[in-house]
Structure 1
Amino acid sequence: MQQNSVSPSYVAAELQARKDRSNHDFSKAASSAKDAAEIARLDGDLASWWNMTFFQAENLLDAEDFDECAELAADLVNGPRATTACHDKARTYILLAMARQGAGLLEQAADAARAAVDLVSDESDVETNVKARQALIAALADIGRLDEAWTECLALADVISAEVDDQLVGKAYWVIGNVAFLCNKVQEGLDYHELAAATFSPARNLDIWAKFNKASAAMRLAADVADADTLRCIERAELATDVIGGSANDFLLMRLNRGHWNYLAGDFEAAIEILEGVCAEADNTSPQILGEACLLLGRAHEAIGDHPASREHLLKAAGYFEASGAQQRADQARDFLAAES
């Protein structure tokens, strides 16, 4: 949305919000953006109100306040003051998809992402098109609709061009590689993640570099690739996050990776200790992460011969996956249960 002339008090509030974000204090940035939006509303400046409310929602997403982010995004796209611009509607649907995915509402996330793709598929805004397709692919993959996700990956690969920023290209290769791993196209997954890694640099953006290494390690581990490159991904993510800090979710995912690494390395006791710590954070994490931790716990207990504990955790894993809409993963947990019987 284009901004009209704005008041000095609004400018000060917006600058404060952007300063808070640059300091990675996302909760404070969301609060400051809300203050700026209220000033704009009182000034009758709808464009500035919309932009700051969107910025508030972006920061709520990064603060992992998924429910409030989704509520704001839904209001921005469907409420009485919703924008009519395709570009802004698409951006908001992308935000809504990411918030719903974070909250474990995977079907709703896919619906929102599909709405974004439909808005920008024929537009010249390549960047928003790429981001919309990334959001759709991520949601479809989490649900387990892998054939659809791979079809969308091929469409995304066609959209990537020289017009797209290197960091965004890297993120596109990253998500395509993720789906390749999930589809058991392991070599393609490794190849796409190598392409992604070549675009990321700790000097340019340490936060993205950390998140990529954390996520790449998780996908490699899920494909039972426990080589030196996987261990390097784990260590890079841990080192970078120690430097820049991270959310509770970031640290839980890194512990999950470490637990998975220990499991694949045959150190089942160490894996159990780490994964039980992840499960103890049930009030602070998503059903999807809890499902992954319980699934690994079940397999680790089975490996040491503790069958009752194994069954308990595999049942929990199936329940958590179902709660998040990841039916394919729930079925996998039950397959492990059936194999034990």
Structure 2
Amino acid sequence: MSENRGTPSYAAAELRAREYRASHEFAKAADSARNAAETARQEGDASGWWNMAFFQAENLLDAGNVGEAADLARTLAETPLGDASSRDRARALILLAKSVQGSGLLDDAAEAARSAVGLLGDDADAEFEVHARQALIAALAESGKLEEAWEESLALSARISDDMDDQLAGKAYWVIGNVAFLCNKVEEGLEHHELAADTFSPSSNLDVWAKFNKASAAMRLAAGVADTGTLRCIERAELATDIVGGSEEDILLLRYVRAHWTFLAGDVPAAIVLLNEVTGSADKLPPQTAGEAYLLLARAEASDGRRKAAELSVRRSMEYFETAGAHQRAAQAGALLSSDADAPTA
């Protein structure tokens, strides 16, 4: 492999990118991956370019640059089959689905993920099928298409086997549990999240452990499960995030979960303070999540007797849900405005 003076070699740039990622410096990792991809392109190494461009997109997504990540993932997905295998196109489509979902484009996310599932075929590698179905389920569930999401969850469940990697099985149990909670199948949700907790290990991947516990707490709280198990999830997530760090979005999401717990525990004023911090940075969150934060704020404000403030918060939540394409959730929020109940409920 040739090496141009003044331009980092492919190997050196790749190594630097992976070192940055290992230390959770995702923006720097993306920049180094871009350098590696450009070097590979100049040297005529199509495979090297594709792999490093994909790694760049992954890091852009983790750094919160969802627009750039989506653009690059789309380019990779549109690479002719002569230059990228069906499996590689599926990988790019999965990444595209995750990226556009982060921008609130839920229908586009579902379309990309469904295309990825279709590319894999009946003899697909279990890891790629799990990732593809996870992306599809997440987009369907977030847009309120719960029956479709549950059907896909059952298909995913059928792919879990004893010889599957623990981390992969854990992620599958995790997403199935999420959908179960959303479908009001609380016992099934708890069961699948317990299975996920049993397969994940903080010593294997502390970052995944933190994200799982944060997400599990959020789903439990949304289902009204505010027990000691939920509190343990929150505390584990907070501790792990303190150790590994996290993006601004990660920190805001964890603060939202803590606010939800605080509200259900009866400390309404403290919950309002936390939720005002979260909604004050709503532009840093996916639109769907921002909508949920405003809706919870409306509940807290109404509970505290702040009716006018609650109405404004409900309207803001509706705007964010509509932006996300979660029209059913927007309608649910809008129904609260005409309700005669003393306080809006989610």
So what's the TM-score if we normalise by structure 1? Answer: 0.96
**Residues 1:39 and 2:52 are matched in the alignment:** no
CA drift of 1:170 comes to: 0.2
1:337 aligned residue: 337
1:314 aligned residue: 314
Judged with a 3 Å threshold, the aligned counterparts in structure 2 of structure 1 residues 123 and 271 are, in CA distance, closer, same or farther, namely same
CA drift of 1:272 comes to: 0.7
1:70 aligned residue: 70
More displaced stretch, 177-186 vs 155-164 = 155-164
2:17 aligned residue: 17
Give the Cα separation in 2 of the matches to 1:84 and 1:277.
44
Map Cα deviations across residues 200-255 of structure 1 (whole Å, 9 max, x no partner): 11111111110000000000000011111111111110011011101101100111
Amino acid at match of 2:295: L
1:266 aligned residue: 266
Map Cα deviations across residues 274-303 of structure 1 (whole Å, 9 max, x no partner): 001101113322212211111011111111
More displaced stretch, 159-168 vs 187-196 = 159-168
CA drift of 1:331 comes to: 1.6
CA drift of 1:338 comes to: 2.1
Amino acid at match of 1:147: E
1:169 aligned residue: 169
Give the Cα separation in 1 of the matches to 2:102 and 2:285.
9
**Residues 1:231 and 2:231 are matched in the alignment:** yes
% identity of equivalent residues: 59
Contact kept, 8 Å, 1:77 with 1:83, in 2: the verdict is no
2:192 aligned residue: 192
Give the Cα separation in 2 of the matches to 1:61 and 1:199.
26
1:102 aligned residue: 102
CA drift of 1:121 comes to: 3.4
Give the Cα separation in 2 of the matches to 1:318 and 1:248.
23
**Residues 1:132 and 2:138 are matched in the alignment:** no
CA drift of 1:340 comes to: 3.8
Give the Cα separation in 2 of the matches to 1:81 and 1:43.
21
Map Cα deviations across residues 255-276 of structure 1 (whole Å, 9 max, x no partner): 1011111111121111111001
Judged with a 3 Å threshold, the aligned counterparts in structure 2 of structure 1 residues 335 and 34 are, in CA distance, closer, same or farther, namely same
Listed as ranges, the matches of 1:280-319 within 5 Å are: 280-319=280-319
More displaced stretch, 300-309 vs 110-119 = 300-309
Map Cα deviations across residues 78-135 of structure 1 (whole Å, 9 max, x no partner): 1469844111011110000000111111110000000000011323311101110011
After the TM superposition, which segments of 4 or more aligned residues of structure 1 sit over 6 Å from their partners?
none
Amino acid at match of 2:166: D
Contact kept, 8 Å, 1:279 with 1:293, in 2: the verdict is yes
More displaced stretch, 76-85 vs 153-162 = 76-85
More displaced stretch, 298-307 vs 158-167 = 158-167
1:213 aligned residue: 213
So what's the TM-score if we normalise by structure 2? Answer: 0.94
2:344 aligned residue: none
More displaced stretch, 194-203 vs 114-123 = 114-123
Contact kept, 8 Å, 2:46 with 2:83, in 1: the verdict is no
Which runs of 5 or more structure 1 residues have no equivalent in the other structure?
Answer: none
Give the Cα separation in 2 of the matches to 1:15 and 1:51.
13
**Residues 1:252 and 2:257 are matched in the alignment:** no
Give the Cα separation in 2 of the matches to 1:133 and 1:245.
28
Give the Cα separation in 2 of the matches to 1:143 and 1:17.
34
1:59 aligned residue: 59
Give the Cα separation in 1 of the matches to 2:53 and 2:320.
33
Map Cα deviations across residues 317-339 of structure 1 (whole Å, 9 max, x no partner): 01111101111221221122221
Amino acid at match of 2:285: T
Give the Cα separation in 1 of the matches to 2:107 and 2:136.
10
Count of equivalent residues = 337
Contact kept, 8 Å, 1:76 with 1:83, in 2: the verdict is no
Give the Cα separation in 2 of the matches to 1:81 and 1:279.
44
Contact kept, 8 Å, 1:83 with 1:89, in 2: the verdict is no
Which runs of 5 or more structure 2 residues have no equivalent in the other structure?
Answer: 342-346
Amino acid at match of 2:168: L
Contact kept, 8 Å, 2:110 with 2:140, in 1: the verdict is yes
2:148 aligned residue: 148
